[in-house]
Amino acid sequence: MKYKRILLKLSGEALMGEKSYGIDPNRLQQYTQEIRKVKDMGVEIAIVIGGGNIFRGVQAEKSGIDRVQGDYMGMLATLINAMALQSALEQGGMYTRLMSGIKIESVCEPFIRRRAIRHLEKGRIVIFGAGIGNPYFTTDSTASLRAIEVEAEVVLKGTRVDGVYTADPEKDPTATKYQTISFQEVYEKNLSVMDMTAFTLCQENNLPIIVFDMNKDGNLSKLVQGEKIGTLITS
Ligand code: UDP
C-alpha cells in the first residue's frame, strides 16, 4: 500500500451524476463501492465533500442573498451531501463519523482534531461536512486544511477530468495531460487545480495532491496501491 491515511475530496457537482440538481443514487452507490475497496485494504480514509450540486455562495449574490449568508447556505449544502454519503457508506457496511465545521449537534459531531484522528485510527471513515465553517472558503480549502490537521499523506481530488492538462481539455483538443507536475509549475502556468488558498496550504506543508477521475471504476484503489493514475502534484 502506498498510502496509509488519505483525504479524499469529492465535489458536490460530481455527486449530481447525470442529473441537473441534487444527488444521483447511482453515483452515490458507485462512490460507496470504490471507497469500500480502499477501506478493505486497511487504508484510513477522511472525506471532504462539496456542495456545488445544491448551492454555491457566489450564486447567491445574483438572487439578492448576501454573500456571507450564501456561503453559510453553501456549507449547509455540503452537510446534506455528507449525510447522504454517510448513510450510503454505512449501508455498505462501513463505520463512519460525520464531523461538522458548524455546530449542528443533533446531526453530527463538531470537528475536534484529536477526535478525528482517533476515529481514523479506529478504522472509521471520517467525513468532514460544512466546510471549514467560515465564509469565503471552499471545500477544496477544507480538504487541504483537514488533511494537514489529521496528517493525511495525500489529498486525492476526485473530479470528472482525469488529471491536470496544459489547457482545458473540454475546450482545447490539443491539450495534454501531466503525469506529474510541481506546485511551482502549476502556479507559473496558472493551471487550475484548486483555488489559491487550498493550493498554497498544500504547497507550504508539502502535502501532495493527486487529481484523478473518480467516476472510473477501480481508479481510487489503483491510486492507493501506487499506480500512476491522474496527475500528481508535489514540491
Ligand atoms: N463554503 C464556505 N466555506 C467553506 C466551505 C464551503 O463558505 O469552508 C461554501 C461556499 O459558498 C461554496 C459552497 O459552500 O461555494 C459549496 O462548496 P464548494 O463550492 O467548494 O463545493 P464543490 O464545488 O466542491 O461542489
DSSP 154: E
Question: Which atom in ligand 1 lies closest to the alpha carbon of residue 9?
Answer: 24
Angle formed by the axes of helices 113-121 and 139-149, nearest 10°: 70
Q: Answer whether residue 56 shows pLDDT above 90.
A: no
Q: How confident is the model at residue 20 (pLDDT cuts 50, 70, 90)?
A: confident
Residue 19's SS3 state is coil
Q: Is residue 138 part of a domain?
A: yes
- The CATH number of residue 105's host domain is 3.40.1160.10
Q: Is residue 40 part of a domain?
A: yes
Distance of alpha carbon 91 from alpha carbon 76, whole angstroms: 23
Looking at residue 36, its amino acid is R
pLDDT of residue 146: 98
Classify the phi-psi angles of 55: left when phi > 0, otherwise alpha if psi is within -120 to 50, otherwise beta.
beta
- Give the residue, out of 136, 139, 149, 193, with the most ligand 1 atoms within 8 A of its beta carbon, to mutate for a pocket test: 139
Residue 47's SS3 state is strand
Spell out the residues 6+ positions from residue 105 whose beta carbon is closer than 8 angstroms to its own.
none
Q: Is residue 176 part of a domain?
A: no
Query: Separation of 41 CA from ligand 1 center, angstroms?
Result: 31
Residue whose CA lies nearest to ligand 1 atom number 6: 138
User: What's the chain's average pLDDT?
Assistant: 95
Q: Is residue 11 part of a domain?
A: yes
Distance of alpha carbon 81 from alpha carbon 50, whole angstroms: 7
Question: Which atom in ligand 1 lies closest to the alpha carbon of residue 59?
Answer: 15
Q: Is residue 173 part of a domain?
A: no
Angle formed by the axes of helices 25-40 and 67-91, nearest 10°: 60
Q: Is residue 220 part of a domain?
A: yes
Question: Which atom in ligand 1 lies closest to the alpha carbon of residue 140?
Answer: 20
pTM of the model: 0.96
Share of the chain above pLDDT 90, in %: 88
Q: Is residue 234 part of a domain?
A: no
User: Could you read off the pLDDT of 152-193 as tens digits, one per residue?
Assistant: 999 999 998 899 999 888 889 899 999 999 999 999 999 989
Range of the domain at 20: 5-160+205-229
Grid cell 463501492 — which residue? 33
How many distinct structural domains can be found in the chain? 1
Question: Angle 203-206-211 (CA atoms, 0-180°, nearest 5)?
Answer: 70
- Answer yes or no: is the C-beta of 100 below 6 A from any ligand 1 atom: no
Per 3-state DSSP, the chain is made up of helix, strand and coil in percentages (nearest 5) of 40, 20, 40
Q: Is residue 198 part of a domain?
A: no
Mean pLDDT of 88-100: 98
Question: Which atom in ligand 1 lies closest to the alpha carbon of residue 71?
Answer: 11
Q: How confident is the model at residue 69 (pLDDT cuts 50, 70, 90)?
A: very high
